[in-house]
Structure 1
């Protein structure tokens, strides 16, 4: 989005912009394998902290099939699907997009980090707030010290992280 003053384009406007920039535009239907139509996709999210204290978040969603045309999920919405603020931390969410957007889950989590509490304490504190919105999901967070936290109100959530040179992974219950 370096070639426009706008931060968010959808539908025909996004397609016209892509064509003007020389990108290939294909129909969403052409990107779905027929045997996957009955499945819903999963979110993949990441949070990171570099040595200079800068944080980042990345999120990709598998999306929902058979959704209303024009629906936008939580993944591209700052403060919903993901949020990062240097020298505080970063958070990434997974779950029901509409609920994540209403609760502003990741924004709340990162703002809580200003109280100097650990990433795990933040994750544990923000999930009951999210549950009040009657959504299922979870989040991962990293604080400015590089501590990782995660919480969810679903039966399981796979998580992985790097601690120094060690890769850690678990199925959180």
Structure 2
């Protein structure tokens, strides 16, 4: 094994492809993951991440992102940050500090300004149009406002066996201002330890954060579970718990890699993801867990 990268959702394919080039040239996991996630953040067609992300219920794009270094356990995160491009890079910069590593709202924006990050209006015509249409539907048809919460999350191991994890999202469409999901929360939306492995999550953050699922996957891998078995156990057990306690469970999906570059996926819905390694070019897979026990996946038809 030289390197492996795994990412949530089909939208990560171009970014994973760029990261693979870096890793094939013996680049670092850190450089590769930042490049890959920025590719998603910068594409206005991906309306749940970065530029063109779907706004909150007052029409403002608020972004959450996180970055974690598995060698040091250093992490950085921003939440509810407005008008700054590439929040994953801001989170990565924060991960280099000892204190004040998780900043929100105006505090995150002030930090980004002092560090010279690009200020940018992240609301596009497309996302503003979607917001106006949803507001009209809510008023006329009494529909639920919430739709769209696809976090891009990635885990990478490089040729030095260094591991990193990162996430980026605009969060729940039509969320209340200041709402934060799981994506920026360590242990919930992401966790990585280069001595064991790493995981990231996507889905309904309000449910995912109740179980600290990314940490749970890494914990299970430390106990000896394969990445696939760890992901299945974490998602399936917690989905059943939420059903038992609340009668309902939202979409939950996880991707993970252990410190040998082996990967796994757990989900309770149909879920596309992307994987690449030194042995395999980037591929999009579609996963399902129809029996509530074992996640299966096939290569997507493009």
Against the structure 1 CA distance between its residues 108 and 20, is the aligned structure 2 distance closer, same or farther, given a 3 Å change threshold?
A: same
- Alignment TM-score, normalising by the size of structure 2: 0.52
CA displacement at 1:164 relative to structure 2: 3.1
For residue 52 of structure 1, what is the aligned residue in structure 2? 160
Against the structure 1 CA distance between its residues 43 and 53, is the aligned structure 2 distance closer, same or farther, given a 3 Å change threshold?
A: same
For residue 116 of structure 1, what is the aligned residue in structure 2? 224
CA distance in 2, matches of 1:33, 1:112: 39
Against the structure 1 CA distance between its residues 77 and 165, is the aligned structure 2 distance closer, same or farther, given a 3 Å change threshold?
A: same
CA distance in 2, matches of 1:144, 1:77: 22
Residues 112-165 of structure 1: CA deviation (Å, up to 9, x unaligned): 1111221111111111232123332110111122111001001x1112212433
Between Structure 1 and Structure 2, the one with more helix by share is 2
CA distance in 1, matches of 2:178, 2:125: 17
CA distance in 1, matches of 2:287, 2:210: 25
Against the structure 1 CA distance between its residues 120 and 66, is the aligned structure 2 distance closer, same or farther, given a 3 Å change threshold?
A: same
CA displacement at 1:51 relative to structure 2: 2.6
Contact 1:40–1:62 (CA under 8 A) maintained in structure 2: no
| Counterpart selection for 2:256 from 135, 138, 141 | 141
Residues 67-89 of structure 1: CA deviation (Å, up to 9, x unaligned): 12111121111111111011200
Whether 2:284 is the aligned partner of 1:169: answer yes
For residue 76 of structure 1, what is the aligned residue in structure 2? 184
Aligned length: 172
CA distance in 2, matches of 1:126, 1:4: 30
Residues 8-42 of structure 1: CA deviation (Å, up to 9, x unaligned): 11122223333333445456656873233246242
For residue 103 of structure 1, what is the aligned residue in structure 2? 211
Against the structure 1 CA distance between its residues 19 and 48, is the aligned structure 2 distance closer, same or farther, given a 3 Å change threshold?
A: closer
Counterpart secondary structure, 1:102: coil
Whether 2:100 is the aligned partner of 1:6: answer yes
Against the structure 1 CA distance between its residues 34 and 105, is the aligned structure 2 distance closer, same or farther, given a 3 Å change threshold?
A: same
- CA RMSD of superposed structures (Å): 2.4
- Alignment TM-score, normalising by the size of structure 1: 0.86
Counterpart secondary structure, 1:33: helix
CA displacement at 1:101 relative to structure 2: 1.1
Worse overlay, 112-121 or 47-56? 47-56
Whether 2:128 is the aligned partner of 1:34: answer yes
Contact 1:90–1:110 (CA under 8 A) maintained in structure 2: yes
For residue 16 of structure 1, what is the aligned residue in structure 2? 110
User: Where does the alignment leave 5 or more consecutive residues of structure 2 unmatched?
Assistant: 1-93, 135-146, 243-248, 289-302
Worse overlay, 102-111 or 114-123? 114-123
User: Where does the alignment leave 5 or more consecutive residues of structure 1 unmatched?
Assistant: none
